[in-house]
Amino acid sequence: MHPDQQRDFADFVAARSDSLIRLAYVLTNDQHAAEDLLQSALAKTAGRWRRIRGTLVGSAKGFVLCAPTKELPEPPVFTYWGNKVPGDVAGFPGKLSVDIYTTHYWYRENPPPHDNYVRIVAGRVALDVRRVTIAWSPGERTDAVVSNGFFIARTPAKTVSRKSRNSGEPERFVDTPPVTVTAYDAAGRIAGRYESVRFGWRGPGSLG
């Protein structure tokens, strides 16, 4: 890992370790098991830090999305798989489940004006899925990181100027258009697809 990435990862651990160990204890109800869960998650994250710089930490019931930043870290929020209690990590039909589409603040030095956010999409896939792509907007498509039945992807978010509904004055908003998520099997065939996933999605029923 490059020294800059090491510092970035160390900042992430320092900012989140207390809240993550508390969450791990809630998930496991055992201090030693909580420490093992956190260490395992951090070790896996460190190995893929250059590519993902974010991770899913969770249990059979649900997950917490962690996206690092040096300043103003997002608080960890627990979400049940499928947005339904009690949650089930394997409880989704087909080959693909999109479990969250959100934005996180992302500290960057000298970014374009106001563009200090990233869009993030994450979820679950069947174990025979080998590739997941995210179509963020027309002409912008990236591959997600796929590992052990999970995927996560992010891209820098842009801001746009719109009139405020309340004051009518121009304001800056993070641009969050719908995305399309596609899963592929080892032969390159489409195994599953979610089209027009709207921002704020946290599983079926989360927006309705």
144-198 tens-digit pLDDT: 988 888 998 988 888 888 777 777 777 878 889 999 999 999 999 999 999 999 9
Cα–Cα distance for residue pair 116/106, rounded to 1 Å:
5
User: According to the model, what pLDDT value does residue 48 have?
Assistant: 52
Contact 79, 99 (CB under 8 A): yes
- Tens of pLDDT, residues 99-147: 999 988 766 566 555 567 889 999 999 999 999 999 998 889 999 988 8
Residue 4 pLDDT > 80: no
User: According to the model, what pLDDT value does residue 77 have?
Assistant: 77
Closest to 121 in 3D by CA, of 165, 183, 73, 43: 183
Decide which of 1.10.287.1080, 2.60.40.10, 3.30.420.40, 3.40.50.1980 is the CATH code for 3-197: 2.60.40.10
Amino acid 113 reads: P
Residue 50 pLDDT > 50: no
Task: Name residue 152's beta-bridge partners.
Answer: 122, 145
Domain boundaries, the chain: 3-197
Q: In terms of pLDDT, which residue wins out, 75 or 69?
A: 75
User: According to the model, what pLDDT value does residue 1 have?
Assistant: 46
Using pLDDT thresholds of 50, 70 and 90, give the confidence band for residue 51: very low
Find the mean pLDDT for residues 6-16: 61
User: According to the model, what pLDDT value does residue 31 have?
Assistant: 83
Contact 105, 74 (CB under 8 A): yes
What is the rounded average pLDDT for all residues in the chain? 78
DSSP 8-state symbol, 167: T
